[in-house]
Structure 1
Amino acid sequence: MTHHWRTIDFRPAPPGWHIVHLTDEDLYRHALPGWLIQEDDGGDRRVVIGGVDEDGEVRPALIGLWNVSAWYVAGPDDPDPTREEVEQERARRRGEAAKAAERRSSAT
């Protein structure tokens, strides 16, 4: 069943919450605006992480799907990831990209 989610409420994050982003070159953070409460036509509800898009609107952050740099959400007292954790995540992402490329090439 396909869900068509609509945002019905927004709950702001307390100060210090942030989304941790990781690229091949950098590790950086963006403030987490908060959480979106969404509902589908059947009345099912879910809570998703809110991120600010290029127009300044709060929308689902979609960590790990289309927002490939977003890694995880951290609270104000969470420690920064270690160098080892960063390198493990980069290796995992390279492996995922290689598998996806292999699937694409075998499909043609």
Structure 2
Amino acid sequence: MLLLLTLLGAALLTWQHAPARNNIPRAQKRREVALQKMEALARRLRQQEPDLDPKPVLELPLAELAQRLRTEELSLESILCSYLEQALKVHQEVNCLMDFLGECEEQL
């Protein structure tokens, strides 16, 4: 009797988690596509600004970054390129990116 209850419990748990397991491949594919879009945008931006050194951009405090963007000392493209490249670099090390907000490209 105990064995039967154990088997039924295991079957119930497996059945309850089936929808979640079915969502995993879809989520992985969506993430893969998002990362490909992010990499493509980073490549396009890098082609526009081949001499860009992202380090000074990444080291700026937010207030100064916003100020330089307003005064056009820095372009939106150079800032986005710097942060995209850094995010992709960190992602390679720690697998941290979940999604890409493609709307950022529409703002350029």
Query: So what's the TM-score if we normalise by structure 1?
Result: 0.24
Instruction: Choose 1 or 2 for highest CA Rg.
Output: 2
The structure carrying a bigger strand percent of its residues is: 1
Query: So what's the TM-score if we normalise by structure 2?
Result: 0.24
